[in-house]
Amino acid sequence: MQPEPLLSYAAAFASALLDPGREAPRMVTGPRGQSTLKCYNVYRNNVTVSLIDALAAIYPAVQRLTGPDFFRAMARFHIRETPPTSPLLFEYGRDFPDFIARYEHARSLLWLADIARIERAWLDSYHAADAPPLSPSALAAVAPEQLSSLMFTVHPATRLVRSPFAAVTIFAANRERVSTDRIDASTAEDALVTRPEFDVLVQKLPPGGAVFLDSLMSGCMLAEAAAAALEESPAFDLATNIASLLEAGIFTSLTSGGAR
């Protein structure tokens, strides 16, 4: 059966773009007697190189850690397996950290996927909606008996990445070029990603801080979040944690849970 002529050209043209093993589609020719494959390969190359460049722009610390050749080979595999589905390139690469985690040549770099998770969170924070952060003094206006039932709305640019490795320190050393002594990669670190004003900030959360913030982000009341944090880490300090989260501008409003 003849394929429907209008619908076939994009399907045929697209079919071999990400598969270098396939021949150039028969519907096209190289002009001036030039090889069709060579001419079609211009598009193949544009697609692959531009998408590798897009991943390199989203994951500069990962590229610095692996070196550009390793990174580009790894990115090429990922692009063939998972091409973008949105025309917005800043949405691309969400599956890349998981791909890195199971990429056999990166197995020795145990923490690499977590660095990628922080970089993906960084870009989400960068493009997130703007909102004025809650003033650090807002808590002072709350009656003491209402403190335990407080609930917070988290700023749209806030992200949390937990890692069993020293992901924040490695990220900072390779993306923000923060100089460090020898890094002990086996120290667990949780990353808080924020953008209170113009710049995205990545910082390390104190013990229990990630559970505390995660609980607040999922709508728990302050007392519930504090209890969860203490359960994970007896060293959790409520006053310090709430003060530093307010200072980091990660809340936009608060309500008393009793008022629900």
The footprint of another protein (CB under 8 A) covers 5-7, 9-11, 13-14, 17-18, 26-36, 38-40, 42-43, 46-47, 50-51, 54, 83-90, 125-130, 156-157, 195, 198-199
Smallest separation, CB 230 to another protein (Å): 35
Residue 217 contacts by C-beta under 8 Å, 6 or more apart in sequence?
A: 154, 158, 160
CB crowding 55-68: b at 16 or more within 10 Å, else e: beebbebbbebbee
Which C-beta is closer to another protein: that of 19 or that of 231?
A: 19
Smallest separation, CB 243 to another protein (Å): 26
Smallest separation, CB 66 to another protein (Å): 22
Q: Which of 38, 177, 46, 106 is nearest to 96 (CA)?
A: 106
Exposure of 150 in the CB half-sphere (CA atoms within 13 A): 20
- What single letter denotes the amino acid at residue 188? A
Which C-beta is closer to another protein: that of 35 or that of 240?
A: 35
Residues forming beta bridges with residue 255, ordered by sequence position: 151
Smallest separation, CB 31 to another protein (Å): 4
Phi, psi of 151 (to 5 degrees): -130, 145
Residue 131 contacts by C-beta under 8 Å, 6 or more apart in sequence?
A: 155, 156, 157, 252
Which C-beta is closer to another protein: that of 83 or that of 257?
A: 83
Smallest separation, CB 206 to another protein (Å): 27
Smallest separation, CB 3 to another protein (Å): 11
- 142's enclosing H/E stretch is none
Residues forming beta bridges with residue 256, ordered by sequence position: 150
Distance between CA atoms of residues 52 and 92, nearest Å: 11
| 253 neighbors 152 (Cβ within 8 angstroms) | yes
Smallest separation, CB 78 to another protein (Å): 14
